[in-house]
Chain A
Amino acid sequence: MNRLLSRYAESIYWLARYVERAENLARILDVNETFSRDSRGWQNWRSILELYEDEERFLEEHDEADADAVIYFYTLDQRNFSSIISAINLARGNARTLRPLISTEMWIQLNMFSNKLKSMPRDDLSEPRLTRFCSHVKEACQTHTGITEGTFYRDESWFFYQIGRSIERADQTTRLLDVKYHLLLPRVEAVGSPLDVSQWNAVLRSAAGYHAFRRVQPSGMTQADVSGFLLFHSRFPRSVRACIRDISDRMNQLRSSHRLSGGSKAQEELDELCSVLDDVEIDQVIDKGMHEFIDWIQLKLSRIHGELGAAYFGYPALEDEAPLAEPVPLGQ
């Protein structure tokens, strides 16, 4: 039985992250398109640039953030490394490196998907067709996930794949919440208005969580309900807590079943994050500041990534830092 090369572990982790990233991006663009035909339409396209912290980069090449330019920037623009096509090209690049490891079906599907995007004309993005484009991307990413689930051999690399996917998902959900929260909150007078509800609705749909949310809460929708759901709900697969739990479980399995010796620091970071997500209430978060809380989670995610890299991928060891202060006091 061959031991997994560090380079392969890193590659499969990134493969999963890039596919997950492309899927999330497609969903966010699609929802935005659907919900942007209102008075705040222009703001919504700009908010996507904020979501990914790309405003500066975007405005270097564009005069204004109009729908066409932002859509192209995030879909078929190969010069933008955070576009869908770049994410899929990078996923394909990792898949090519990993071909000795992954199933032929995984490779063929990603190779064809990437070839298809490369041959796609910009016309395919014009407004009435954007939804179709996004559906295609989501479906191809989900096909990838399905093929992987059904064909990928379950050795250590499977765990790194899952960890990569979950960490990206957690990151995407926190970003979505951070920006939308920030964008939606200042207009206090609008809280509870039909517009407000439709925007929170869009947030849920961007995380593919509308129906799951409705099952938990058949009626009503406040910012606290929605953000609480996306942060903490343990049974919604895209909530931050579910993702972190998943990573923690996978790490435990890796270390126990596969007898991996490293990774204790990553595990410590995970435990800390888990216990906060288990215990904190959404009202406490809102009181103390949503943005600060999300910032803290993102710092934790970045440390988990760094510690994983140091333990398994051959990244340089992280310098010991003082433990991050907890974002909210854990009250009774």
Chain B
Amino acid sequence: MATAAPSASGPLTAYDPDGFFCEMLGGQNEPAEHTLSIREKLNRLDLEVLRGRARDAELELYSFGITFTVYSQKDVIDRILPFDVIPRVISAETWNTIESGVTQRVSALNLFLWDIYHDQKILNDGTVPADLVLGNKNYCKQMQGVDVPFGTYVHINGTDLVRGDDGRFVVLEDNARCPSGVSYVVENRHLMQRSFPDLMSKIGIRSVSNYGQKLHEALAETAPAGVSDPQVVLLSPGTYNSAYFEHIFLAREMGVPLVEGMDLVVEDDKVYMKTINGLDPVHVIYRRVGDDFLDPEAFNPDSVLGAAGLMRAYAKGNVSLANAIGTGVADDKAVYAYMPRIIKYYLDEEPILSNVETHICREPEGLAYTLANLDKLVVKPVGEAGGYGITIGPRASERELAKCRAEVTADPANYIAQPMVNLSVCPTLTDDGVKARHVDLRPFVVTGKSTWVLPGGLSRVALTKGSIIVNSSQGGGSKDTWVLE
């Protein structure tokens, strides 16, 4: 740790990564060279200066309305995503691995999705159990035989990565439906540029500000054939959605209308939006509305968030949807376990980024192993998102373990189990000074004709000491993520 210890007496002087792999200092035996100058600069700042700037930054987020909405039983609260001012820094070399790893993964996901909605070779081969896919509640029968431009189902993927004690990134899960958080990646950077110009100067940090342009290009590429100047829109559930800020952000960055279901109408299997001069054709919909709510005619009949007839228009190829309908089956936690085999099957390559070792409770061996090692494993329900329903074995009480055991035994197919990964930490400003807090990383992968990865990503940080739950709905915050040139 000799080279890692900051020289002067500053905010990092007393920082201790508590034995975890540290994003700023590196591992025990491999001190992080790439952060050296950033550490020196950070350490020249006074802790009080750091706190002052952090307060200003939070005030700015509130004024800008960069908020997500929390619904409690009686109140609707606009809350900011807590922002930590100490950046998470990734070296160019590490980033190359991440970039090629998530690109490989999205290629495999798209090939897999095309296959399960067409020939189903991978199921017939028995490489992935057919009932796991066909019986999955996110498998969409209406998508069978539907072709999407360039075979791109997952236009936007958010791959959640974590880094264990050995410093290797592994994939925790894919988010192939409507991954959110990219607005924070860009806004966090702008916030840092305003609050810490001194910290950022003369450090080559790759830009994240062209995300909207790249996304628009990819969406336009996947427009229905024959449309030369496609009208792209962003479909939002509306101002009450907790991610509405992000919808605004993306619509603005792409320069496209932010529409709600009531703005759309389908006539003769073509989609239009209602404007002050009548109906205008719509060719590509970046929808932030779940599959079930897209079309009351085809899916949930009570939905008012979509447009009646949208599925018909989609199946005829008159409109493109991003992401495609029915991608939820691919980011399912049960299918996740098969991803290494899926990558090998379609690409004939070894996965560049490994999965966390996963035990599938629907399989007898997996169930037996899980029940025998419950106190060592993290048990997750396969259908849930947002960190809900997770039991962390090593930290659970006897009662919690018993409850978990009962649930898993009652419905094994609903659970997977993974060994506990010691998430890496990053120095984080707390009330007690700069302390180690666990982080994850969600890079955003955009695919039209080809794939592009935003050089950065959402670093979520568990602000509670020792916690590894980084979700914003459960006390997580975020950091700016610097990918070095």
Residue of B nearest to A96 (CB): B239
Contact yes or no, B276 A99, CB < 8 A = no
Q: Are A108 and B63 in contact (CB under 8 A)?
A: yes
In the complex, chain A residues 240-285 whose Cβ is within 8 Å of any chain B Cβ: 259-262
Whether the Cβ atoms of B65 and A3 lie closer than 8 Å is no
A312 proximal to B (CB < 8 A): yes
**Interface set, chain B 219-234, CB cutoff 8 A to A:** 231
Q: Which size class do A's interface residues fall under? A: 20 to 34
- CB B212 to nearest CB in A, in angstroms, measures 11
B276 pairs with A111, CB closer than 8 A: no
- Chain B residues, Cβ within 8 Å of A96: 65, 239, 244, 248
B residues within 8 A CB of A115?
62-63
Contact A99 B256 (CB under 8 A): no
Q: Residues of B contacting A317 with CB < 8 Å?
A: none
Do the beta carbons of A314 and B65 come within 8 Å of each other? no
Confirm or deny: A332 has a beta carbon within 8 angstroms of a beta carbon on chain B: no
From A5, A160, A259, B259 is in contact (CB under 8 Å) with A5
Q: Which residue of A lies closest to B262 (CB)?
A: A7
Does B257 interact with chain A (Cβ within 8 Å)? yes
The docked-state distance in angstroms from the alpha carbon of A151 to that of B403 is 58
Q: Does A6 contact B (CB under 8 A)?
A: yes
Q: Mark B270-313, 1 if CB is under 8 A from A, else 0.
A: 00011111101000000000000000000000000000000000
Interface size class of B (residues with CB under 8 A): 20 to 34
Give the contacting residue for B256; candidates A2, A107, A160, A260; CB below 8 A: A2
The answer to whether A6 and B257 have CB atoms under 8 Å apart is: no
Q: Pick from B65, B255, B263: contact of A7, CB below 8 A.
A: B263
Q: What residues of chain B lie closer than 8 Å to A183, measured between beta carbons?
A: none
The distance in angstroms between the C-alpha atoms of A312 and B260, with both chains bound, is 17
Question: Do B231 and A2 have beta carbons less than 8 Å apart?
Answer: yes
Q: Which residues of A contact B255 (CB under 8 A)?
A: 2
Chain A residue, CB-CB nearest to B274: A6
Q: In the docked arrangement, what's the CA distance between A101 and B419, Å? A: 48
- Flag whether A194 is at the interface (Cβ < 8 A): no
- CA of A2 to CA of B233 in the docked complex: distance in angstroms? 10
User: Mask for B62-85, Cβ within 8 A of A = 1, else 0?
Assistant: 111100000000000000000000
A-B contact pairs, 22 of them (CB 8 A): A2-B231, A2-B255, A2-B257, A3-B276, A4-B275, A4-B276, A5-B273, A5-B275, A6-B276, A9-B276, A96-B65, A96-B248, A99-B65, A99-B252, A100-B257, A104-B64, A107-B65, A111-B65, A115-B62, A160-B276, A259-B277, A260-B277
* Chain B residues with a Cβ under 8 A of chain A: 62-65, 231, 239, 244, 248, 251-252, 255-260, 262-263, 273-278, 280
Binding site for B on A (CB under 8 A): 2-9, 93, 96-97, 99-100, 104, 107-108, 111-112, 115, 156, 160, 259-262, 312, 314
